């Protein structure tokens, strides 16, 4: 009888112990640390973030600069803000879905299921750990642009704000790639679909040429493309000009993308696991 009472008392006390707060946040940050450890041990995972900004700037400036602006230096000033936004989008879209797909196929997420952690923590942790790629890509892009002759016409804080705004949009759209990584079983198809999805968003803008030089149907797409607003805000922050309206629209679009794609990705992951 006393043993039963003692056991009952232990159970009651265990049930009375309050859960530690911010459980999902703590687990997500812990798994983000795992992702960063993988990157530190395998620096090759940052290859695209290192070389993509350099290739984009060299390609656009020296291939199209003379034809579009008549001067590669003038064209560099024009195109740099757009390349910043495009780089942040591609960094967020072309790798994270593949990483998640690989972990699922290798059974890593099956191990996560056996742990007492939030079901969405593995996805959130990988996304947060991937933020280092945005930092590396932005730093390389600004360093390359400076060596080529690009100069910020506003101030350093505005330049940081431009990079952060582009990263916010890239982070929000990155959840679409997370969703694809969970739903699609083949790794090659994940990257193909992600690239085809980002292509009209990144290139259907006024990044390379002014909007009024485009055909009418393409101008209509540029006007409603949310990435165009991000590029306009980036130009304003880096070169001077209107910022409030395009930056606000970009943040609203980012919130909308996150609100749609993040829950869908978590739901798909829960159904698959």
* DSSP type of residue 241: S
Cα→Cα distances 242→92, 131, 223, 226, 245, Å: 26, 28, 16, 16, 7
Residue 6 has pLDDT above 70, yes or no: no
Q: How many CB atoms lie within 10 A of CB 97?
A: 28
What is the residue whose two structure tokens read 């936004």? 85
Cα→Cα distances 54→45, 65, 94, 214, Å: 17, 15, 17, 26
What pTM, to 2 d.p., does this model score? 0.83
Digit-coded pLDDT (tens) for 55-77: 889 988 988 877 777 788 889 99
Residue-by-residue DSSP string for 56-118: HHHHHHHHHHHHHTS-HHHHHHHHHHHHHHHHHHHHHHSSHHHHHHHHHHTTHHHHHHTSSS-
* DSSP type of residue 46: G
Q: How many CB atoms lie within 10 A of CB 43?
A: 9
Residue 15 has pLDDT above 60, yes or no: no
In this prediction, residue 3 carries a pLDDT of 43
First-last CA distance in the chain:
43
Q: Looking at per-residue confidence, does 37 or 73 come out higher?
A: 73
Share of the chain above pLDDT 70, in %: 81
Mean residue pLDDT across the chain: 81
Digit-coded pLDDT (tens) for 116-129: 676 677 777 778 87
């Amino acid at each position: 009888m006393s043993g039963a009472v003692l056991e009952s008392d232990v159970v009651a006390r265990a049930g009375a112990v309050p859960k530690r707060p911010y459980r999902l946040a703590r687990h997500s940050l812990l798994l983000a640390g795992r992702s960063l450890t993988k990157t530190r041990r395998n620096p090759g995972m940052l290859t695209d973030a290192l070389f993509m900004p350099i290739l984009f700037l060299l390609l656009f400036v020296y291939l199209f600069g003379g034809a579009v602006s008549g001067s590669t230096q003038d064209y560099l000033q024009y195109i740099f803000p757009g390349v910043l936004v495009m780089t942040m989008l591609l960094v967020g879209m072309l790798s994270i879905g593949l990483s998640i797909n690989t972990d699922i196929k290798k059974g890593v997420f099956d191990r996560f299921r056996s742990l007492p952690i939030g079901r969405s923590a593995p996805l959130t942790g990988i996304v947060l750990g991937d933020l280092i790629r945005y930092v590396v890509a932005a730093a390389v892009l600004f360093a390359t642009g400076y060596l080529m002759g690009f100069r910020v016409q506003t101030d350093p804080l505005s330049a940081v704000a431009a990079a952060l705004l582009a990263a916010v949009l890239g982070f929000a759209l990155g959840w679409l790639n997370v969703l694809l990584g969970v739903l699609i079983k083949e790794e090659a198809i994940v990257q193909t679909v992600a690239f085809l999805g980002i292509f009209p968003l990144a290139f259907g803008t006024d990044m390379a040429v002014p909007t009024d030089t485009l055909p009418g149907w393409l101008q209509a797409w540029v006007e409603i493309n949310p990435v165009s607003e991000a590029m306009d805000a980036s130009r304003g922050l880096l070169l001077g000009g209107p910022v409030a309206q395009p930056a606000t629209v970009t943040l609203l679009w980012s919130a909308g993308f996150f609100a749609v794609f993040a829950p869908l990705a978590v739901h798909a992951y829960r159904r698959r696991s």
